[in-house]
Structure 1
Amino acid sequence: MLPQISSSCSSKMYRTTNLLFTLIILSITSFSQVVNALALQPQYAHGSGCIPAERAALLALQKGITSDSADILASWEGYDCCRWRGISCSNRTGHVIKLHLRNTFPGPKAYNYNGCSDANSLFGKISPSLLSLKNLEYMDLSMNCLLGPNSHIPQFLGSMDNLRYLNLSGIPFTSRVPSQLGNLSKLQHLDLGEGYSGMYSADITCLTKLPLLQYLSMSTINLARIADWPRPLNMVPSLGVINLAGCSLDTASQSLPYLNLTKLEKLDLSLNNLGHSIASSRFWKVTSLKYLSLRATQLFGKFPDALGNMTSLKVLDLAFNNLNKTENLQSLLKNL
C-alpha cells in the first residue's frame, strides 16, 4: 500500500517543481540572449579579427599602390587585417583606428626631401575607399609618393571626420591645399610640409575651424598669396607648434587686437622674407615659447626689451640676418 502524501507536502513539492522549471526557463532564455548578442558582435569577437567592409577598404588602398619595393604591405594578406603591418584596431569595437604607412626607410634625408625621389617609398594613389574607415583616428602616409593621377591632396580626406592625426609630409603634392581639411574638427595634428612641390594656399582661414589643433606644419607650402597670415593662426589658441619654414611669407601687418597663442611652445619661421624690424614682431609677446627659429628671414635692427621676458626660451636661431648683435642682445639674454 502506497503511503499517502499530505496536501501540505504535495503543495511544497508543486512549488519546488514550478521554481525549478522557472529557473530552467530563465537559464535557457539568458543563454539564448548571450548567443544572440555574440552573433551581433563584429567578427573579431570570434577570432576572425577584421570587419569585412574595412578589410575591403584596405585592400582597395593596396590595389592603388603601383610600387612597394620596401615590402611595406607584404603582410597584407589573410583575413585578419588587424594584424597587418601599419594597422591598429580598437580592442573594444574591432574597428580600424590607425593607419601608419610612413616610409620608415627613406634614403639620406636632405632638407628638400620628397617621397617621389626615394626608391623605398610607396608609389600610387590614396584611395577614396578609406572613407569606409569611419572610425579612423590616426593616418600617417608621409615620406611616400602617393600622388595619384593629378598630384593633388584628395579633397575626400576632409570627410574623414574622426581623424585626430593626419601626416602627409614629404609627399610632393601640387595645386591648392583643399579647404575641406577645415571640416576635420577633431584634428589635433596636421603635417603637410616638406613636399617641395607646387603646393600653395591663398587662404588658411579653414584652420580656424580646427579648435583642437595642437601641431601645424605647412613648411615649404607657398603662402605668399596670404596678406595677413598671422591673424587666422591667432584664432587657434590650442596651437603648441607652428612650422611655416620656407613658405614664401612676406611682411605682414604686425598689429593684432589681442594675442591668443598662449600655449605656443615652438615657432619656426625660418627661410622666409619677413623683411621688417625685428623689434616690431608680435611673437615677442608669446612668453610660452621654448623654440624660436628666425633663420634667414631678412629681419633687421635692434632687439626689443620684450625678449627679456621670454624666460621659457631654450632655442633662439637668428642666423643669416642683418641684426644689430650688440650689448642690447647680450644684456637681454642674461635674463633668460
Structure 2
Amino acid sequence: MCRTTNLLLTLISISIFPFFTNGALQPQHQHAHGGGCNPDERATLLSFKKGITSNDANILTSWQGQDCCRWRGVSCSNRTGHVIKLHLRNPNVALDTYGEYDVCGGASALFGEISPSLLSLKHLEHMDLSMNCLLGTNSQIPHLLGSMGNLRYLNLSGIPFTGRVPPHLGNLSKLQYLDLGQDGDYSDMYSTDITWLTKLAFLKFLGMSGVNLSGIVDWPQTLNMIPPLRVIDLSYCLLDSANQSLAHLNLTKLEKLDLSYNDFEHSLASGWFWKATSLKYLDLGQNSLFGQFPDMLGNMTYLQVLDISQNWNGDMMMTGNLKNL
C-alpha cells in the first residue's frame, strides 16, 4: 500500500507542481557567460569531487577540463558565468529484499561527504544531492548547509542521515523548496523543535517524511505561519495528533498534504486540515483515526485524491459535491 500511496503522491506532484522542475525554482540558464566557468568555482567543484570516495556509476567522469559549466549536473548563469545549479540526484536507486529503497546498497549512488568547500559557491541557488550515500564521518546533515544563503532549492531526500535536523537550515531565508524526506519509511533523524521553519518565509514545498517529530504538539501552528506552502509531506513522522485548533488558517495555497503513517488516534472530524479547502491531495492513511467525516468535507471541492485507508472508519459517510475526487 505504501508503494501505491507514493505513486499517487508522485503523479499528482507532476500534474499540479510543474514549477518545481521547470519554473521559478529551477535556474534557467545552462551555459556560462564567455564560454567558461569561474576558476575559483571550478576549484571548489573539484574539491567536492575529492570528497566522493566511490563513483561507480561514473556520474562525475565529465568533471574535467576548464569549462565546469559543461560538467554533468552543473549549470551556470549565462549572464554572470557563476555556478547556480548542482543537480546530482541518483536516478537508479537500489531496492532491498523488502522492496524498500536502499540508497547505500547500490552501485549507482555517490558515496562520501558533502564537502565544506561548497560554501564557496556563493551564487548557488539549486542543490539536489538526493538518493546518494553522502553521510560523511558522522552521518548527520552538515551544519554548513545553513550558511548557503542563496539557495532556493535544497533536496537531500533519501540520504540516510541520522541525528538532529540542524535548525541552522532556518538561515536559508530564500528557500522555496526543502526536502529531507526518507521516501516512505522511518529514519534515525529527529527534531524536537521546528519553529526554525517559520524563518523560511518563501517556502512552498516541505518534505520531512520519516523525520521523528514525536512530542512536537504545536506543529500545525508552526506551519500555519508559512502562508506560501503548497506541499507538506509529514508522513512517517510519529506525530501524536492533528486535532489542534487553528482560529484562522493561513495556508490558503496548500494543495497537497500527506500525514499518513502517524499516531493520531483521535476523531477524524477534529482534524485541523478540513479547513484547508484548497487541497487537491490529502493522505490520512494508517493513523487510527475514527468516526465520520465532518460537514466541512463538502467545502473541499478541489479535492482529487483522498486516502483514509487503514483507519478505524468502517461506517463513514461522505457528503458534499466532490466532483473532482
In the alignment, what sits opposite 1:306? 296
Choose from 106, 127, 131 the match for 1:139: 127
Assess if the C-alpha contact under 8 Å between 2:269 and 2:292 holds in 1.
yes
Choose from 57, 70, 73 the match for 1:83: 70
**Structure 1 residue matching 2:170: 3-state secondary structure:** helix
In the alignment, what sits opposite 1:225? 215
Per the TM alignment, residue 115 of structure 1 is displaced from its structure 2 partner at its CA by 1.8
Choose from 77, 82, 85 the match for 1:98: 85
CA RMSD of aligned residues (A): 1.6
Q: Which structure is higher in helix share?
A: 1
- What CA distance in whole angstroms lies between the structure 1 residues aligned with 2:260 and 2:211? 13
In the alignment, what sits opposite 1:243? 233
Query: Is 1:65 matched up with 2:52?
Result: yes
- What CA distance in whole angstroms lies between the structure 1 residues aligned with 2:197 and 2:189? 17
What do the CA deviations read for 1:49-98 (whole angstroms, capped 9, x no partner)? 01111011100100000000111001001111000000000000000000
Assess if the C-alpha contact under 8 Å between 2:300 and 2:322 holds in 1.
no
- What CA distance in whole angstroms lies between the structure 1 residues aligned with 2:242 and 2:80? 48
Choose from 78, 87, 101 the match for 1:113: 101
Q: Which has the larger radius of gyration?
A: 1
- What CA distance in whole angstroms lies between the structure 2 residues aligned with 1:213 and 1:325? 38
Per the TM alignment, residue 124 of structure 1 is displaced from its structure 2 partner at its CA by 0.1
Q: Which runs of 4+ in 1 moved over 3 A?
A: 44-47, 108-112, 331-336
Choose from 171, 180, 184 the match for 2:159: 171
Assess if the C-alpha contact under 8 Å between 2:93 and 2:101 holds in 1.
no
- What CA distance in whole angstroms lies between the structure 1 residues aligned with 2:228 and 2:85? 23
**1:21-32 map, 5 Å:** none
Per the TM alignment, residue 225 of structure 1 is displaced from its structure 2 partner at its CA by 2.9
What do the CA deviations read for 1:156-202 (whole angstroms, capped 9, x no partner)? 10110110000000000000000000000100000000164310000
Choose from 119, 125, 131 the match for 2:113: 125
Assess if the C-alpha contact under 8 Å between 1:228 and 1:253 holds in 2.
no
Per the TM alignment, residue 227 of structure 1 is displaced from its structure 2 partner at its CA by 2.1
In the alignment, what sits opposite 1:52? 39
- What CA distance in whole angstroms lies between the structure 1 residues aligned with 2:82 and 2:165? 29
Counterpart amino acid of residue 62 in structure 2: S
Query: Is 1:150 matched up with 2:138?
Result: yes
- What CA distance in whole angstroms lies between the structure 2 residues aligned with 1:274 and 1:45? 53
**1:324-335 map, 5 Å:** 324-326=314-316, 328-329=317-318, 331-332=319-320
In the alignment, what sits opposite 1:274? 264
In the alignment, what sits opposite 2:170? 182
Choose from 195, 198, 223 the match for 2:188: 198
Change (3 A) 1:76 1:124: same
TM-score for the superposition, normalised by structure 1: 0.83
Query: Is 1:288 matched up with 2:275?
Result: no
Change (3 A) 1:334 1:59: closer
- What CA distance in whole angstroms lies between the structure 2 residues aligned with 1:334 and 1:226? 33
Per the TM alignment, residue 114 of structure 1 is displaced from its structure 2 partner at its CA by 4.2
TM-score for the superposition, normalised by structure 2: 0.86
Which residues of structure 2 form unaligned runs of 5+? 1-31
